[in-house]
Amino acid sequence: MNRDILIKINYIFIALLLIGSSLVVMYHESPERLIQGEWVETGWRLEKDNASAELTDHFYLQEGLRQEILRDFRELDHGIWRFNRNRALLTADPNHETDIEWLIKGRGHVLELRKNGKQIESFQIQQLSDEKLVLHLNFDLQVKGIMEIVLERKEQTDQYAKKI
């Protein structure tokens, strides 16, 4: 083969590679886009800890831990998390404004909540899909536990057309 033909083939290959990779980056579902919307809590539980089995199943203990975790942002106490496009975490009450900001950090596996520019909580995103969001909260080192928070996307009842 001629050297000029090989150079043209290399340029075409590089151009196709660049176009293909830019299309993948543009249309790939990023965690920031997937998390946007309204989510409803379906469960809180201790995933692992150093306590006995009967304590991990105790409802009042888990509810007390939930209240302690949410003490800095009572807006989420109703079990509805609304992630807005402008990175604001909205409350269930549309008349109440909140100053909680959410950020996806790392490789898309850390959800950080901030209030007035200061970090108030950090969660590890265990699973994120169109329907389900599972967050792990590593809390107090003396307890040695992981609190698992399961959220499911709230059904949109006012959709004009359903996605097939």
Q: What are the 10-residue block averages of pLDDT along the chain, 164 residues in total?
A: 89 96 82 87 71 55 67 66 86 68 87 85 87 79 67 68 51
Q: How many CA atoms lie within 13 A of 87 on its CB side?
A: 13
pLDDT attached to residue 160: 47
pLDDT attached to residue 52: 54
The greatest distance separating any two alpha carbons of the chain, rounded to the nearest whole angstrom, comes to 78
pLDDT attached to residue 28: 76
Phi, psi of 90 (to 5 degrees): -90, 160
CA distance 74 to 71: 6
pLDDT attached to residue 92: 65
Contact 93, 77 (CB under 8 A): no
pLDDT attached to residue 9: 94
- pLDDT, tens digit, for every residue of 80-125? 888 888 888 876 666 666 678 899 988 888 999 888 888 888 888 9
pTM: 0.67
